[in-house]
Chains A and B, each alone.
Chain A
Amino acid sequence: MGKPTKQRRKGQVAARAKGPSGAGMAMVKNNPFEVKVNKQKFNILGRRTKHDVGLPGVSRSKAVKKRTQTLLKEYKEREKSSVFKDKRFGEYNTKISPEEKMMKRFALERQQNHEKKSIYNLNEDEELTHYGQSLADIEKLNDVIDSDSDTEERGILSAELTAAHFGGGGGLLRRKALTGEQDEEEEKPKSRKELIEELIAKSKQEKRERQTQRENALELTEKLDTDWKEIQTLLSHKTPKSERKDKEEEKPKPDEYDMIVRELGFEMKAQPSDRMKTEEELAKEEQERLQKLEADRLRRMHGKDEQENKKKPKHMSADDLADGFILDKDDRRLLSYKGGKLNVGNEEEEGGNEEEEGESEEESEGEPGREDEEEAIVEEDDATDSPSDLESDMGSEEEVTANEEQKKKHKENEQKLQSEEEQNAKIEAARSELPYTFTVPESYEKLKSLLFGRKIEEQLVILERIQKCNHPSLAVGNKAKLEKLFGFLLEYIGELATVEPPELGTIDKLVLPLYSLCQMFPEAASSSVKFVLQDAAHDMEEMIEVKGRATFPGLDMFIYLKITAIVFPTSDFWHPVVTPALVYMSQLLTKCQVMTLQDVVKGLFVCCLFLEYVSLSQRFIPELINFLVGILHIAIPQKQPQGYTLVHPFRPAGKNSELLLVCDKKDMETWQKQNLPLSIMTRLKESSKTEINHFRLSCLAVCLDLIKKCAALYESLSSFHEIMQPIRVLLTEHIPVSEYPKQLQELHKNALKEIEDKGKHYTSMVCEKKKPVPLKLYMPKIVKVLEFGRKQGGSKEEQERKRLIHKHKREFKGAVREIRKDNQFLARMQLSEIMERDSDRKRKVKNLFNSLATQEGEWKAMKRKKFKN
């Protein structure tokens, strides 16, 4: 039933459009018998009533009329099957565009016309047209042509015209462009409104002028025409064609200059680009960006909730002394009054404008002086950048900026720059050999086969190209693919760390693509790192359950933890990746047994990680101190701890309690501090006793340095001395310093100094003052009422839903009513049909009876006659 109703709707609209004439309506409305008034029980303020007065008769007749036009027609045609077919060219062909269709049709029509013309009629030629008007009409030139086209045709030079013709150079555009900024030439800038008014006035004046001109011209042509007719008779008879030609010649042909101008007008104009930024500005921008990021980081470090920020009032109290030390720039406005009104919003804008003005003025003043220098600098820059620019044609901008940044940082250091260049050259070489496009590997094995065994530079280039060829902006699926790449790369790095010997150089370089990938897809990166962490923690838990104790994991896990510190900010109060990593590291230090020198190195590595994680936030890590105490303990001859206590992984006595003890005097003397190679974690080389002793001393040196760092980090903690107490006891009483080599003694002295230098200050703790709880106020709750009769309450969606339900209900009711009325109408029609048929039949029967009766009568009369006769 949907379709007919729709059709009816259309019909309704049409009917309404036609409607009863206005006068008729008025008459009907005035007739009190036609009007039905719906009485209102209560008069409600603000309620608009739509249906207080109705015209039942009119609406009924309208409905009936509509039905007879639509439903009745349908009913009557219900068993007819003839179809209307449109035989126009291409009517049902959707492949042809409407323009083409029109063209074809037109051509066909022309063809038909052409063929139908009587071949004997030579005189009649085709009618020439221009833009749908016959040329013959145009020829006469006496019609009124509208003004705009007129001006263009005649090439009058007005201000607008020149503006339009000479696009960028003219006053209008420039003025428009410069309204935002400040025009240097104009001393007093006009407001936009004034400018527009001026413009309108000017154009009006010009229009008036043009009109008078045109009228003059018309008069003149008419005069010329009459003159000409007079002369015409005198001249020999000429065909109208020639006349036409003459006229055409009269019309000025567009000359070359105009054509070029117009062409230029339609050409794409070069947009004015931003001026190249100077190095200082770039540096400043970079600085600002970093400052903003740092402020952001600090905010996260202190763990201030966003809600807290939301709660902040938009303005400060007028009494605020602004003496609170706030790290972030406080950009709230001071509450102030201006002209008796609260001035909150405007000031900022004004201030902003003023500032901008000041700046721009300064700039404009300073510019001419500086320009030369700047140009020189820019040129220099260009010169240095040109090779990199060339190579970056195929590379992305990121790469270039990264390169530039690196260069900037190393500018002072010639040597480093050279190595950088060397590396660049290497990368260039690698580039020239490798294919240019790569698909993203679908699995880890594929990535491995792509990268493994290649040179570092080649691997980097491959990864870079994978990223570029499959940038998320290029195709839809790329994002998901690249997101997976991070996980694969992480796995690959893990594998590189587990091979023998670990390829740490490669890992060192692979961190760069990892970082850029992470910047692109933080979510994916965090979930894959989290997955790795979960796996490791689960393994450890399992090991504890099965064996009762845990061992340190392999080198790969430590690399992962280090990478976490590189790609994620470690100073956040809470971070989805860093916090679990910290918990995991804490487990490493408390659960894993220290049984070999490798374990010592691993533990020290974790200590370093811990210190790095909290280097900015200066957070307190009990496990770290415990572990360092343990390390010091295993460096002294075995005895029961005095003045300090050991916790879990370390035992006061046992087989591993002298792991770092060195007794050999000679080894002590020959020792030199050296960095601990990471490869030791996977395999301790079978080395001589001397080397092992040296190694022990190196570990001890690291430990002492870490203690110093800890002491520096934690000096602000209120129980610093309690925390450091066990370490101090160990350092002063137990460690055999005098036997150690000079370098170690120095370290020991530094560490101890760092601990003991701190003064002891204790201040009694006082709770923060509690805000007094405000009294409960029994104010009426005020709810905004938007409109009467609307249902209130609920969220926006809920309201929308209710509205839709209501609408549906009403529509449904309406449809049911319509259908019912349709049925009634149809029934009425059918009834009238039947009645008509019946009456017809009755009439016919009557006729028959009539004729039969007359026949009978006649027959009887005849019979009677006969009988009489």
Chain B
Amino acid sequence: MAGPPIGLPDLAALPQADEEDVVLCAIRTCSRLFGALLERRELFVGQLPEEETSLADNYSAEDKYKIWMRHRYNSCVNCLVELMGHESFQVKELSLTTLMKFVELEGKYPLVKAEWKGSFSFPRELLKVSVVENLIPCEEDASLLISRFQEYLEYDDIRYFVMKAVAENIGQVMQKTKEVPLPIYQQNVFSLISSISMPSKENEVVSFMVKQANQEEWKVSKLKEHKRAFERMWLGFLKHKLPTGLYKKVLVILHDSILPYLNEPTLMIDFLTVAYDIGGAISLLALNGLFVLIQQHNLEYPDFYKKLYSLLDPSIYHVKYRARFFHLADLFLSSSHLPAYLVAAFIKRLSRLALTAPPQALLMVIPFICNLFRRHPACKVLVHRPGGPEDLSEDPYIMDEEEPSESRALESSLWELQTLQRHYHPDVAQAAAVVNQSLSELEDDISGLLELSAYELFDRELKKKATGVPLEFEQVRGLFGKKDDLFAEHFALE
């Protein structure tokens, strides 16, 4: 029987220690010590009596020792939880790993008495109170720690209990704040739950941190349970108002890493429709999720195309999500059952907006429009109207009209592309000149052009091989010395 280990009383004073090294060493010592004790089952198991009462009562000496040791262990865990808020990342990290080690060991050597034979034991409370709540603090950004924690999320049981804990935590925290947004907290929660990668098949649920006797019956090993937990967590998170930046982030990953893992994806409809109605970039992003719902889950969205039409404003050529939007728009407009007036309105609006677009967007949108012509030959009157009115005083198309059917697009012509034939960029001018001839049958592949960035465009220009370099023949007479130089009018060489 071992006596009380030397140096144990110091543990209580751990957080107060100033020097980082000392703290780190102490944590390591505790980790090793209590790890060994847990393995040797030298901690008291079951309902823990009060420390004072235990001394008086008629416990055996061994039990007294175990009870005392268990108290020390509890205080050590408390210390570690406190240390999770330490300013040094190293300390935080080490406390986190130590706590996770305790979680693992407690799972293996449970400190709670099994209620009946074959029941499952998992240190749920320890995980929830000590780890999860500290991973998503309300005040500071914990993304580093969360990325460290990610390796534990590979374990299916840990992931499951974390999801449950997060869902509970969100409910508690948000209830407290009463709809006052907590950007940092929400950011932390998002970084934690977005890093959860769900298994997609039943037989993938195999890696557990704590092995149980009759694994098969444990509900943690059911994919459905996982999905339910996942769903509840996300719904709980999205129920509350989100900051704009976070909104976009959620929408970006929604269709890819959230919707497929929900038991009932249709539950997301409310969230998506709200997002779709917000306008601007958020609407563009919500489109993707809506598309998944419409395509795979039979969602009926009234006036979908009208809404899509109203999404077209000058910013679509400038925003970051241009590629995604046009990819989807291409999908939506690929149906050959769409009425011609609708497609014509889209074509007209897109080309009208193209008058303010940068070259990289133009290079993408012109083939896009040409593809629309190919799919809907009825719209070709926009570029070819023999015997049409010679001299109009106005463009018949009404830009401000929100209803595509009222916009009189089919009566108009595509003068915008004619204008773009005079664009300064040679490739754009050439692309726009395509409409002068009758179009070829095959559709252009725009997938390569969707992601074209301005820098790539520049690079491409620079790498073109030239046979000769033509030179200016007008004799130079100084920096602003050209004939009626524009600069001489407005700028001075001072």
**Interface of A toward B, CB cutoff 8 Å:** 290, 293, 296-297, 300, 303, 402, 405-406, 504-505, 507-509, 511-512, 515, 518-519, 522-523, 525-526, 530, 533-534, 537-538, 540-541, 559, 562-563, 566-570, 572-577, 579-580, 582-584, 586-587, 590-591, 604-605, 608, 610-615, 617-623, 625-626, 645, 647-648, 674-679, 702, 705, 709, 717-720, 722-723, 760-768, 770
Contacts and interface: CB of A to CB of B under 8 A. Distances in A.
A566 B486 CA distance: 13
Given A586-B454, A678-B493, A760-B394, 12 more contacts: A300-B470, A505-B493, A511-B476, A511-B478, A537-B459, A567-B472, A574-B464, A576-B466, A579-B461, A605-B491, A622-B423, A675-B490
A68 B394 CA distance: 106
Nearest to A610: B424
Interface in B447-480: 454-455, 457-459, 461-462, 464, 466, 468-473, 475-480
B486 A508 contact: no
Contacts of A611: 486
B454 A587 contact: yes
A722 B355 contact: yes
A764 B390 contact: yes
B313 interface: yes
Interface in B39-85: none
A580 B483 CA distance: 24
A426 B383 CA distance: 64
B306 interface: no
Contact of B415 (A402, A526, A613, A762): A762
Contacts of A579: 425-426, 461
Given A522-B471, A568-B472, A762-B392, A770 B491 contact: no
A575 B393 CA distance: 38
Nearest to B455: A541
A764 B479 contact: no
Interface in B338-360: 352, 354-359
A568 B356 contact: no
Interface string B218-258: 00000000000000000000000000000000000000000
Nearest to A702: B490
A590 B490 contact: no
Contacts of A508: 478-481, 493
A623 B358 contact: yes
B469 A590 contact: no
Max chain A C-beta neighbours (<10 A), residue from B392, B438, B482, B493: B493
A485 B402 CA distance: 61
Nearest 6 Cβ contacts at the A-B interface: A764-B388, A576-B466, A677-B494, A675-B492, A762-B392, A619-B424
Contacts of A538: 455
Nearest to B414: A765
B416 interface: yes
Contact of B491 (A577, A620, A678): A678
30 contacts: A296-B470, A522-B471, A533-B462, A537-B459, A538-B455, A540-B455, A562-B479, A576-B464, A576-B466, A586-B358, A590-B358, A591-B454, A605-B487, A610-B424, A619-B424, A647-B314, A647-B356, A675-B489, A675-B492, A676-B492, A677-B491, A678-B494, A702-B490, A760-B392, A765-B385, A765-B435, A766-B384, A767-B435, A768-B437, A770-B437
Given A647-B318, A719-B415, A770-B438, A583 B486 contact: no
A519 B491 contact: no
Contacts of A677: 491-494
A312 B457 CA distance: 33
A611 B482 CA distance: 14
Which DSSP category, helix, strand, loop or mixed, fits chain B's interface?
loop
Contacts of B489: 675, 705
Contacts of B426: 303, 573-574, 579
Nearest to A515: B476
Interface residues of B, number: 75
B318 A583 contact: no
Interface of chain A: mostly helix, strand, loop or mixed: helix
A87 B420 CA distance: 90
Contact of B490 (A586, A610, A705): A705
Contacts of B480: 508
A767 to B, nearest CB: 4
A525 B492 contact: no
A537 B422 contact: no
A89 B487 CA distance: 82
Interface of B: 313-315, 317-318, 352, 354-359, 382-386, 388-395, 413-416, 418-420, 422-426, 429-430, 435-438, 454-455, 457-459, 461-462, 464, 466, 468-473, 475-482, 485-487, 489-494
Contacts of A515: 472, 475-476
Contacts of A511: 476, 478-479, 481
A625 B479 CA distance: 25
Contacts of B317: 647
Contact of A608 (B425, B454, B490): B490
Contacts of B477: 406, 512
B380 to A, nearest CB: 9
A645 B314 contact: yes
A519 B490 contact: no
A535 to B, nearest CB: 11
A375 to B, nearest CB: 30
A537 B456 CA distance: 10
A608 B318 contact: no
B486 A676 contact: no
A580 B494 contact: no
A297 B474 CA distance: 11
A504 B493 contact: yes
Nearest to A673: B490
B386 to A, nearest CB: 5
A767 B356 contact: no
B420 A566 contact: no
A522 B424 contact: no
Contacts of A625: 356
B412 to A, nearest CB: 8
Given A583-B359, A722-B395, A619 B423 contact: yes
Contact of A534 (B383, B414, B462, B481): B462
Contacts of A674: 492
A537 B437 contact: no
Nearest to A526: B469
Nearest to B352: A722
B435 to A, nearest CB: 8
Given A579-B461, A582-B425, A723-B355, A620 B384 contact: no
A405 B476 CA distance: 11
B494 A622 contact: no
A37 B382 CA distance: 84
A566 B493 contact: no
A612 B392 contact: no
Nearest to A533: B462
B470 A402 contact: no
A646 to B, nearest CB: 8
A763 B391 contact: yes
A162 to B, nearest CB: 52
B487 A562 contact: yes
A530 B492 contact: no
Contacts of A559: 479
Contacts of A679: 494
Contacts of A519: 471
A618 B429 CA distance: 13
B424 A613 contact: yes
A607 to B, nearest CB: 9
Nearest to A770: B438
B357 to A, nearest CB: 6
B478 A647 contact: no
Contacts of A647: 314-315, 317-318, 356
Nearest to B392: A762
Given A583-B359, A647-B314, A762 B491 contact: no
A567 B391 contact: no
A675 B491 contact: yes
Contact of A761 (B391, B413, B471): B391
